[in-house]
């Protein structure tokens, strides 16, 4: 059997295990994700109705323990479903819905050790790849804030840490230091300015973890990948509807989610922009997101969390720069590259954004204070 036929057989094997409605009449690759293999299934019920599903083969080279990942995801989405129902919402559109196998499991492991899952397809939705207006960014902030609010009473410490130290900035800094020390490919000489920039800010890396350890910041359920394209918007109203891509849902800090959104959405330049003069923090977008996030959280954040919002933005940006730089030094083994020095360019944009945040620190803190007390 050729590889293509083998792959189709595995897909058929997986589909047959799940309790979906109707007969599959169409299946095709779906979306532009880079981690999991995703397919749209179109089914026809005996009554002649159409029902659609998302089938995914999970990437177990990145997510080392898919069963624990699915335990997190299923527990959180079932909890959200109850919250949404109690508020009079539509849980089939406002959260992901895991389709169980015929034996009641939330995933299926095939004979080739691949892990599969199925979600209900949420129809009449769109996904935005970049911030097109302050309104889009505000709406995304309300959605992520509401996600945090709905899960504010969920016992975060019962979730598995499926990627250890994912947003542990001191741990990421140690990884960076090791990459510099080993300098496996002799690339450190090409990044002396960036290495120095990072080393000068070592003392700041523990700002959030120290507060967590002291009990001054609460452990939360966090999404950990709060980019705009991880929200489905209603195609008709254009309002944020559902948070998706919950593979990295883990225990963490609300500041991780806030900060990563600012890093990704409030920069005036692309993540790999080579002309650093184009990269700075857009304060109007920072304000739009902060306003929306606070409104979405609706009083569920502590005063200390709100006070540390600017630090969350800075540290998540700095951490991402560290990861890009370490990967460059180690030979581009984690992040995909499309040109020579791509990860170094990415590190430079993140560090430029950090430097601009430092210049605008008073404005950032002033915005947070204004929105808190208005």
pTM value is: 0.92
For residue 253, is pLDDT > 70?
Answer: yes
For residue 365, is pLDDT > 90?
Answer: yes
| Residue 165 and residue 116 share a domain | no
Q: Name the band, by pLDDT with cuts 50, 70 and 90, for residue 2.
A: very low
| Residue 226 and residue 115 share a domain | no
| Residue 259 and residue 162 share a domain | yes
- State pLDDT tens for residues 25-78: 999 999 876 678 999 999 999 888 999 999 999 988 788 899 999 999 999 999
pLDDT at 3: 46
pLDDT at 136: 87
Q: Name the band, by pLDDT with cuts 50, 70 and 90, for residue 334.
A: confident
Asked if residue 76 belongs to a domain, the reply is no
Last residue of a domain, one of 61, 90, 123: 123
For residue 150, is pLDDT > 80?
Answer: yes
For residue 302, is pLDDT > 90?
Answer: yes
Query: Which structural domain, as residue segments, surrounds residue 283?
Result: 134-373
Q: How far apart are CA 260 and CA 242, in angstroms?
A: 18
Asked if residue 79 belongs to a domain, the reply is no
Whether the CB-CB separation of 198 and 176 falls below 8 Å is answered with yes
Q: What is the CATH number of the domain that holds 13?
A: 3.30.200
Asked if residue 61 belongs to a domain, the reply is yes
Asked if residue 257 belongs to a domain, the reply is yes
| Residue 281 and residue 248 share a domain | yes
| Residue 153 and residue 14 share a domain | no
Q: What is the CATH number of the domain that holds 303?
A: 3.90.1200.10
Q: How far apart are CA 208 and CA 222, in angstroms?
A: 15
| Residue 169 and residue 198 share a domain | yes
Residues in the chain: 374
Asked if residue 178 belongs to a domain, the reply is yes
A 10 A CB-CB count for 109 gives 16
Asked if residue 299 belongs to a domain, the reply is yes
pLDDT at 34: 65
For residue 361, is pLDDT > 90?
Answer: yes
Whether the CB-CB separation of 253 and 307 falls below 8 Å is answered with no
For residue 1, is pLDDT > 50?
Answer: no
| Residue 103 and residue 182 share a domain | no
For residue 160, is pLDDT > 70?
Answer: yes
φ/ψ (deg, to 5) at 93:
-120, -20
Asked if residue 358 belongs to a domain, the reply is yes
Whether the CB-CB separation of 293 and 142 falls below 8 Å is answered with yes
| Residue 171 and residue 109 share a domain | no
- State pLDDT tens for residues 224-248: 999 888 999 999 998 899 999 999 9
The beta strand positions in the chain, using DSSP E, are: 23-29, 37-44, 50-58, 98-99, 108-109, 115-120, 125-126, 220-222, 231-234, 240-243, 250-252
More confident residue, 54 or 334: 54
Whether the CB-CB separation of 140 and 265 falls below 8 Å is answered with yes
Q: How far apart are CA 146 and CA 53, in angstroms?
A: 25
| Residue 300 and residue 213 share a domain | yes
| Residue 169 and residue 40 share a domain | no
Q: How far apart are CA 186 and CA 70, in angstroms?
A: 40
| Residue 293 and residue 147 share a domain | yes
- State pLDDT tens for residues 117-145: 999 999 999 998 877 788 989 999 999 99
List C-alpha distances in Å: 293 to 48, 288, 301: 43, 9, 10
Q: Check residue 184 and report its DSSP letter.
A: T
- The three-class DSSP label of residue 64 is coil
pLDDT at 7: 64
For residue 205, is pLDDT > 60?
Answer: yes
Closest C-alpha among 204, 206, 225 to residue 216 = 206
pLDDT at 112: 84
Dig out the tokens for 95 from the structure: 């959260």
Asked if residue 256 belongs to a domain, the reply is yes
Please state the domain count of the chain: 2
Q: How far apart are CA 97 and CA 53, in angstroms?
A: 10
Question: Average pLDDT, whole number, for the chain?
Answer: 94
User: Average pLDDT for residues 342-361, to the nearest whole number?
Assistant: 98
| Residue 185 and residue 107 share a domain | no
């Amino acid at each position: 059997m050729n590889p293509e036929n083998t792959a189709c057989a595995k897909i058929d094997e997986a589909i047959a295990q799940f309790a979906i409605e109707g007969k599959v009449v169409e299946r095709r690759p779906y979306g532009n994700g880079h981690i999991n293999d995703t397919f749209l299934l179109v089914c026809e019920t005996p009554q002649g109705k159409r029902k659609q599903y998302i089938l995914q083969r999970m990437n177990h080279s990145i997510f080392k323990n898919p069963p624990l990942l699915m335990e997190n995801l299923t527990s959180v989405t079932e909890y959200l479903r109850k919250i949404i129902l109690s508020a009079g919402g539509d849980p089939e559109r406002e959260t992901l819905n895991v389709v169980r196998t015929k034996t009641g499991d939330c995933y299926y492991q095939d004979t080739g050790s691949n892990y599969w899952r199925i979600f209900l397809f949420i129809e009449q939705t769109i996904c935005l790849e970049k911030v097109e207006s302050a309104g889009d960014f505000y709406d995304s902030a309300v959605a992520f804030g509401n996600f945090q609010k709905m899960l504010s009473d969920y016992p975060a410490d019962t979730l598995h840490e499926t990627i250890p130290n994912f947003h542990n900035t001191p741990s990421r800094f140690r990884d960076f230091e090791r990459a510099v020390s080993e300098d496996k490919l002799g690339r450190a000489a090409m990044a002396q300015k960036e290495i120095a920039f990072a080393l000068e800010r070592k003392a700041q890396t523990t700002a959030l973890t120290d507060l967590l350890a002291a009990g001054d910041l609460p452990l939360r359920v966090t999404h950990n990948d709060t980019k705009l394209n991880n929200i489905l918007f209603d195609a008709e109203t254009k309002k944020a509807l559902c948070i998706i891509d919950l593979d990295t849902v883990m225990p963490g800090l609300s500041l991780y989610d806030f900060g990563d959104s600012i890093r990704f959405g409030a920069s005036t330049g692309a993540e790999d922009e080579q002309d650093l003069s184009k990269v700075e923090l857009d304060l109007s977008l920072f304000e739009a997101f902060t306003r929306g996030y606070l409104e979405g959280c609706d009083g569920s954040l502590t005063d200390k969390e709100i006070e540390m919002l600017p630090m969350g933005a800075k540290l998540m940006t700095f951490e991402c720069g560290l990861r890009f730089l370490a990967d460059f030094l180690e030979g581009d083994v984690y992040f995909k590259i499309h040109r020579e020095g791509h990860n170094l360019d990415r590190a430079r944009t993140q560090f430029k954004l950090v430097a601009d945040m430092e210049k605008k620190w008073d404005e950032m803190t002033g915005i947070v204070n204004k929105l808190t007390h208005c």
